[in-house]
Chain A
Amino acid sequence: MELLVAVMVGVMVAASVHLMLARNVLRFIFGLILISNAANLTIFAAGRLTPERPPLIPEGADAPAAQVANALPQALVLTAIVIGFGLFAFALTLVYRTYQTLGTLNSDEMRLAEPRGEDGS
């Protein structure tokens, strides 16, 4: 299964890179969401996938009875999901505010700080 997840993560990253290469910043945001998910899955899969054995300690025991899923990447991913959401929410607000101010979502037309020189495409 890990092998398939690895392939799938590759597909997700490819799609998000394509989105992030767009001029429209809303597409860029979509790419951001997608790549966060891909990154989380990468961490999760790197800790190996264990079906149907959550890392819990049964009542009365001091340690898990048998081999359970790797708890460490789960903790990392949990944190990463929340941070990724914070990043996404802020970026979306920024896009919204930019649109309010500049009237465009095209990153090429956002030229307040770097006026277009002879070099601009």
Chain B
Amino acid sequence: MATTGAEVPRVYGGAAGWISILIPVAIFAWLTQFLEPVAAGETVLLGVDWVPSMDIRLSLMIDGLSLTFALLISGIGALVTLYSTQYLGRHPEYPRFVLFLMLFMLGMLGLVLADNLIALFVFWEITTISSYLLIGFDSDSAKSRRSALQALLLTATGGLALLAGMIMLGAVAGSFELSVILGMGDEIRAHPLYLPILILFLAGAFTKSAQFPFHFWLPNAMAAPTPVSAYLHSATMVKAGVFLLARMNPALGGTEPWFWALVIAGGFTTVFASLLAVRQTDIKQVLAYTTLMALGALTLFIGAGTSDAIKAAMVFLVVHSLYKAALFLMIGLVDHETGTREVEELHGLARKMPVTFVAGALAAISMAGIPPLIGFIGKEFLYKAGLALDTAQLWVTGTIFAASVLMFVAAGISVARPFLGRLPDRLAGTHEGPAAMWIGPLTLGALGLVFGLSSDLAETWLVAPATWAVYGAETKVDLYLFREVNAAFLLSLATFAAGLVLYAAHRRLRAGMARAIEISPIRFDPAWDRLLDGLKALAAWQTGILQSGVLQRYMVTILATLAAAVAVTLWAQDALAPIEPGLAAQLAGLQLTHYAILGFICAGALLAAYTSSRMTAVAALGVVGVGVALIFIMFSAPDVAITQLLVETLTIVLVAVAMLKLPTLSLRTEARRPWHAALSVAVGGLVTLVLVGVLQGGLDRRLTDYFEAASWPEAYGRNIVNVILVDFRALDTFGEIAVVVIAALAAFALLRGTRTPRAGQEEGE
């Protein structure tokens, strides 16, 4: 808590605090160098190859849109981090907070500046994850965790849809570079995949920017610390969806589906959210819902797509970022000093917190759209653009009128209610907050005034270049406060009148809204919970089926799948040709020894499978092993045969040693299951069929011929098999040795523990 109003601004939080301020300031300073070329209509491209084999470049595209966003992100970022040093500087987890906030800021900057779609997606997900971490910053609170998870699941699901859309778009355009894609709008819009791409992009943008019906995560996200709400969930991250729409407008925009999807979702969100905003009593929640309204309005006007509409959207984007961040910071400051954000408990704070009041008032006047602040210009341009539309003129203008009236009321609730009127005794001891906390809102509020009075500043450096970038062509952008009495101006006057009337009655309005919500059957949050419960039940159900924990079932599933896949493939490929006469003719030349060996191996295998005696099984396996070695000897593989005999001996020795310690094989637990036998026969038969198929085909001897020819001249070895192992494929052999060594080490580790089975427990006690 601040002790005196005249305290020197002090940065709490130590090094972390300083770093958190300096990074955005440095980025802001670096970005200002691009103002001039971008204002002249240039697009600056910077970049390095990242994963060249996959056509992924880490490239930056700095045009009017991305520069406006980047300046807002870094500028507001600097003010918010300064504010946070005071708000959270003494929090034990403050460095963690700074880390998350910086991660978010870099992700957000990358998102807006990226020229490559894949890079854009990666940055998009970074903002999702850092938003999750920041909403859940108060990790001891179940409500925070739930809100964080809800935001993560919704926006990440949208992110996945977006990724799919991006990959399709990249395939259609033949490039992932935005600078290429944005120039191919006509080809993309004519492509049959246009509609799926559009739907996937809209899913990503609408979830991120909390458009109806995905809106409910944003008010819940207010569980985050106030600087986070001001920064992520008002000024920057939630605008990522709007940014994406604006960015893709030259490539995807201008079609009927685009127009109606954006205009309907945006318009509905606008009215719906501004009604709910008036319903709230927690001022932070009021601001959360007005943020939704602003996002809806931006979506609406980007969808409308005329050059006037884009222009209005870009003005409103700047306007909203300035006033909304200021208001969030203001209410955080009030909360910090009084301990409450409830509108019914706060009155007359203007005398106790004059600086905060000035900052809040500037922002609120801008939000209400009263001249001479830039908010007025923003509202005028929205009206003008709406009135000039050919289609949906009434819908767009009507929703914006309704929303502007309710914005006016919400501005009154957020600032006039807490700061004006009689100071209750309970708040008599309130002081002005520390400078670090009012610098941010005051700067942002004052900027709204500066941009309003000298609108050329905002026009030249921010709005005009951003409009060109979104519209895809240079158009005339001319911002002015007042020129003539026209329809838009008259609508403004009507807005103020209606706003004043409704503000006077806002408590009755709120009560009415509360009743209306009570009787409305649709509840988003409980529906969300039911959805998650259903998902969990589904997961548990399918896990119970797939992951029974019974080894036998796993084996049956795997082997039956294998058998079915092979059988279907053999049948579908018509691979079951009759046996070639040549192959069958070989049988004639066989001697008794051949039959004897084959008979012994088969008998050994079957005996091993059916005996209930361990010793018999081991002996039968030994017969099989030796028989296989004999086959190797007969068919010209002496080295293999030697190895086989050696390994066979070792195997039997190991099994015999293990027998000393293991119990006897009890067959009583093994119920004879006929389908086990059937499955065994099926798998074995299929292996035979596949092997016969392989033997019928031609043999590709190219590698063998090479090894035979190169063995002596190149490697000076006469035993070709050995040369392959130790020379041509030496690295494979090395890997094989490594596997054996690792197996030995692992076995050693397992066995070492058995000697002192109780040692660990004793140490523990």
Q: Which residues of B contact A10 (CB under 8 A)?
A: 684-685, 687-688, 691
The answer, yes or no, to whether B725 is at the interface (CB within 8 Å) is yes
A120 touches B594 (CB 8 A): no
The answer, yes or no, to whether A102 is at the interface (CB within 8 Å) is no
Q: Which residues of A contact B679 (CB under 8 A)?
A: 17, 21
Complex alpha-carbon distance, A13 and B602, angstroms: 10
Contact check: which of B549, B594, B636, B651 meets A50 at CB < 8 Å?
Answer: B636
The answer, yes or no, to whether B712 is at the interface (CB within 8 Å) is yes
Closest to A104 in B: B663
B721 touches A17 (CB 8 A): no
Main secondary structure of the interface of B (DSSP, over half): helix
Q: Which residues of B contact A88 (CB under 8 A)?
A: 651, 654
Contact check: which of B556, B605, B753, B757 meets A11 at CB < 8 Å?
Answer: B605
A19 touches B743 (CB 8 A): no
A114 touches B549 (CB 8 A): yes
B684 touches A6 (CB 8 A): no
The answer, yes or no, to whether B740 is at the interface (CB within 8 Å) is yes
B550 touches A8 (CB 8 A): no
A8 touches B683 (CB 8 A): no
Q: Which residues of A contact B720 (CB under 8 A)?
A: 55-57, 64, 68, 71
Contact check: which of B628, B673, B695 meets A41 at CB < 8 Å?
Answer: B628
Contact check: which of B552, B602, B743 meets A90 at CB < 8 Å?
Answer: B743
Complex alpha-carbon distance, A55 and B639, angstroms: 10
A65 to chain B, nearest CB (A): 11
B683 touches A13 (CB 8 A): yes
A-contacting residues, B713-731, CB 8 Å: 713, 717-721, 724-725, 729
Q: Which residues of A contact B640 (CB under 8 A)?
A: 44, 74, 77-78, 81
Contact check: which of A2, A68, A97 meets B695 at CB < 8 Å?
Answer: A2
Closest to A110 in B: B551
The answer, yes or no, to whether B587 is at the interface (CB within 8 Å) is yes
Q: A50-B636, A71-B708, A74-B637 are in contact. Are A5 and B598 (CB under 8 A)?
A: yes
A88 to chain B, nearest CB (A): 6
A36 to chain B, nearest CB (A): 9
A55 touches B647 (CB 8 A): no
Q: A26-B665, A92-B654, A93-B747 are in contact. Are A14 and B685 (CB under 8 A)?
A: yes
A90 touches B617 (CB 8 A): no
A86 to chain B, nearest CB (A): 4
A84 to chain B, nearest CB (A): 8
Complex alpha-carbon distance, A20 and B695, angstroms: 27
The answer, yes or no, to whether B214 is at the interface (CB within 8 Å) is no
Contact check: which of B636, B692, B719, B733 meets A52 at CB < 8 Å?
Answer: B636
A-contacting residues, B680-710, CB 8 Å: 680-681, 683-685, 687-688, 691-692, 694-695, 699, 701, 703-704, 707-709
Q: Which residues of A contact B638 (CB under 8 A)?
A: 54
Q: Which of A38, A71, A93, A116 has the most CB of B within 10 A?
A: A71
User: How many pairs, one residue from A and one from B, have CB atoms within 8 Å of each other in the complex?
Assistant: 303
B694 touches A46 (CB 8 A): yes
Contact check: which of B549, B684, B692, B751 meets A120 at CB < 8 Å?
Answer: B549
Encoded as 1 (CB less than 8 Å from any A CB) or 0, chain B from 530 to 565 comes to: 000000000000001001111111011001000000
B-contacting residues, A18-66, CB 8 Å: 18-30, 33-34, 37-38, 40-42, 44-59, 61-64
B555 touches A20 (CB 8 A): yes
B635 touches A51 (CB 8 A): yes
A79 touches B732 (CB 8 A): yes
Closest to B677 in A: A18
Contact check: which of B637, B662, B725 meets A44 at CB < 8 Å?
Answer: B637
Complex alpha-carbon distance, A40 and B739, angstroms: 18
Total count of chain B residues near the partner, CB < 8 A: 104
Closest to A14 in B: B684
A46 to chain B, nearest CB (A): 5
Closest to B652 in A: A33
B624 touches A75 (CB 8 A): no
Closest to A96 in B: B658
B747 to chain A, nearest CB (A): 4
Contact check: which of A27, A42, A61, A115 meets B712 at CB < 8 Å?
Answer: A61
Complex alpha-carbon distance, A83 and B734, angstroms: 12
Q: Which residues of B contact A93 (CB under 8 A)?
A: 746-747, 750-751
A83 touches B684 (CB 8 A): no
A12 touches B718 (CB 8 A): no
B718 touches A59 (CB 8 A): yes
Q: Which residues of B contact A11 (CB under 8 A)?
A: 601-602, 605-606, 684
A86 touches B670 (CB 8 A): no
Q: Which residues of B contact A8 (CB under 8 A)?
A: 598, 601-602
B746 touches A37 (CB 8 A): no
Complex alpha-carbon distance, A3 and B694, angstroms: 11
B740 touches A83 (CB 8 A): yes
Complex alpha-carbon distance, A73 and B587, angstroms: 22
The answer, yes or no, to whether B632 is at the interface (CB within 8 Å) is yes
B621 touches A30 (CB 8 A): yes
Contact check: which of B553, B621, B688 meets A9 at CB < 8 Å?
Answer: B688
Closest to B621 in A: A33
Complex alpha-carbon distance, A66 and B640, angstroms: 21
A82 touches B736 (CB 8 A): yes
Q: Which residues of B contact A33 (CB under 8 A)?
A: 621, 625, 651
Closest to A61 in B: B712
Closest to B553 in A: A121
Q: Which residues of A contact B544 (CB under 8 A)?
A: 117, 119
B579 touches A3 (CB 8 A): yes
A1 to chain B, nearest CB (A): 6
B579 touches A114 (CB 8 A): no
Q: Which residues of B contact A28 (CB under 8 A)?
A: 551
A89 touches B704 (CB 8 A): no
Closest to B750 in A: A97
Complex alpha-carbon distance, A29 and B652, angstroms: 12
Q: Which of A21, A30, A63, A77 has the most CB of B within 10 A?
A: A21
B549 touches A116 (CB 8 A): yes
Complex alpha-carbon distance, A46 and B697, angstroms: 10
Complex alpha-carbon distance, A10 and B77, angstroms: 69
Q: Which residues of B contact A7 (CB under 8 A)?
A: 688
The answer, yes or no, to whether B508 is at the interface (CB within 8 Å) is no
Q: Which residues of A contact B583 (CB under 8 A)?
A: 2-3
Complex alpha-carbon distance, A79 and B594, angstroms: 25
Q: A2-B583, A17-B683 are in contact. Are A86 and B636 (CB under 8 A)?
A: no
Q: Which of A29, A82, A93, A120 has the most CB of B within 10 A?
A: A93
Complex alpha-carbon distance, A70 and B721, angstroms: 9
Q: Which residues of A contact B685 (CB under 8 A)?
A: 10, 14
Complex alpha-carbon distance, A46 and B666, angstroms: 38
Complex alpha-carbon distance, A74 and B712, angstroms: 18
A-contacting residues, B266-310, CB 8 Å: none
Complex alpha-carbon distance, A86 and B643, angstroms: 13
B761 to chain A, nearest CB (A): 13
A20 to chain B, nearest CB (A): 6
The answer, yes or no, to whether B45 is at the interface (CB within 8 Å) is no
Complex alpha-carbon distance, A106 and B662, angstroms: 12
Query: 13 pairs across A/B with beta carbons < 8 Å?
Result: A6-B692, A10-B684, A15-B608, A21-B552, A23-B551, A46-B695, A51-B635, A71-B720, A74-B637, A78-B721, A82-B736, A92-B655, A117-B544
Give me 8 other A-B pairs in contact (C-beta within 8 A), A40-B644, A57-B720 excluded: A3-B579, A9-B687, A10-B687, A26-B662, A50-B635, A79-B736, A83-B740, A99-B662
Residues on A facing B (Cβ under 8 Å):
1-30, 33-34, 37-38, 40-42, 44-59, 61-64, 68-72, 74-75, 77-79, 81-90, 92-97, 99-101, 105-108, 111, 113-117, 119-121
Nearest 9 pairs of A and B residues by beta carbon: A14-B684, A10-B688, A114-B549, A69-B636, A86-B743, A15-B605, A15-B609, A107-B551, A93-B747
